[in-house]
Amino acid sequence: MDKQVVSFNLNGEAVRVRCDPFSSLLSLLRDRLGLLGTKAGCGRGECGACTVLLDGLAVNACLVPAGKAEGLNVETIENLSRGGSLHPIQEAFVEKGAVQCGFCTPGMVMSAHALLKSDPAPGREEIRKAISGNLCRCSGYVQIEEAIAAAADKLKD
């Protein structure tokens, strides 16, 4: 299979990786780069477990061809808790009981991260819209929404 070198910025570091450019960014992150925090739930953009930020916008890594990352900034869940301390969004998820099985959590946190970057004080409806592409089967979303609202308050301080 023809391979291509794709260069992009991953969690603040430049990476160059030879890969199948048509394969998904998800498989590049998980299978080639060993970043297993981004989860795979459906492979069709229908569950949001693989949500990462592409130039600051939430996308389904399973629907992004690896070649599309060329020259862009890719941010994954691994970037949020560097140095061992939790990001305020993650703290809020812990405090509000927003994590049950935890499988949707990384994608959910990344959607929240994208939201709070663009809207530091979202209302409950904005929060719901922002996570509407992330399925969670455990929580009924209530505590996730509470956590994102609490994270917004934390980030303001």
Partner 1 sequence: MIRRNIKAGEGKEGFPGARGFYDPEVWAKVTGRARYGIDLALPGMLQGKILRSPHPHALIRNVDLSRARSLPGVRAVLSGTGLGAKPYGIVFDDENPLALDRVRYIGDEVAAVAAVDEQTALEALQMISVEYEPLSAVFDPEEALLKGAVTLHDDFPGNIAWENRINRGEAEAAFKDADLVVEDTYALPSFHPGYIEPISCIAESEKFDGLTLHTALQSPHIVREILAGVLGLSISRVRVISPVMGGGFGGRVYGNLKLYLLAAFLSRAAGAPVKMQLTREEEFTVGRPMVAAMIKMKMALKEDGTFLARQADIITDNGAYSAQAPWVSKTLSERNDSLYHIPSISTRVRLVYTNKVPTGQYRAYGNQLANFACESLIDRAAGKLGMDPLRLRLKNCIGPGDTSVHGLQIKSCALSRCLQDAADAIGWTERKKGRGYGISAAIHAGGSIVFNPDFRGASARARLELDGRVTIVTGEQDYGQGAHGAFALIAARALSRVPGEINIVSRDTILTPFSIGALGMRQTTIGGRAVQLAAEDLLARIRDCAAELAGEEVVPEGGAFRTSSGRLIEPVGIAAFYCAKTSGLALTGEGRYVPEKSDYDQSGYGNIAVTYSFAAHACEVEIDRETGALTVHRFVAVHDSGRIVNLLTARGQVYGGVAQGLGMACSEGYIFEEGRVANPTFSGYRIPTALDLPSIETLFIQTDDPEGPYGAKGLGEIVQVPTPAAVANAVANALGEPVNELPLTAEKISRLLHGWECAD
Partner 2 sequence: MKYIIAKSLDGALAALQDTGTGRARVVAGATDLFLQEQPDRLIDISRLPELQEVTLEKGLLRVGAAVTHNAASASGLIWEKAAALAEASTLLGSPQIRNIGTLGGNVANAAPAADAAVALAALGAEAVLFDSPGRFYVKPFAGLYAGYNCSRVDSCREILAWFLIRPAGPGQGSAFLRFTARGALSLPLANAAARVTLEKGRLKEVSLVVAPAGPAPSRLKKTEALLLGSNLSGKTWSMAEESASAEVAVRGSALRCSVEYRRRLIGILAGRVLSLAAQRAQRNR
Which residues in this chain contact partner 2 in the complex, by CB under 8 A?
1-2, 4, 6, 20-22, 24, 43-46, 48, 51, 54, 57-60, 62-68, 70-71, 111, 114, 129-130, 132-133, 135
| 3 state SS of 82 | helix
DSSP class of residue 66 equals G
Query: Does 153 help bind partner 1 (rule: CB under 8 A)?
Result: no
Distance CA 6, CA 10 (A): 11
Distance CA 21, CA 70 (A): 10
Query: Does 5 help bind partner 1 (rule: CB under 8 A)?
Result: no
Q: How far is the CB of 68 from partner 2 (least distance, A)?
A: 6
Residue 15 touches which of partner 1, partner 2, none (Cβ within 5-8 Å per kind): none
Helix (H) or strand (E) holding 71: none
Q: Are residues 30 and 90 in contact, defined by beta-carbon separation less than 8 angstroms?
A: no
Distance CA 19, CA 3 (A): 5
Binding mask 12-51 for partner 1 (x = CB under 8 A): ------------------x-----xxxxxxxxx-xx-x--
β partners of residue 14: 9
Distance CA 7, CA 98 (A): 35
Residues 80-139 that bind partner 1 (CB under 8 A): 80-81, 86, 90, 93-97, 99-106, 109, 127-129, 131-139
DSSP class of residue 69 equals G
Q: How far is the CB of 36 from partner 2 (least distance, A)?
A: 20
Positions in the binding site for partner 1 (CB under 8 A):
30, 36-44, 46-47, 49, 76-78, 80-81, 86, 90, 93-97, 99-106, 109, 127-129, 131-145
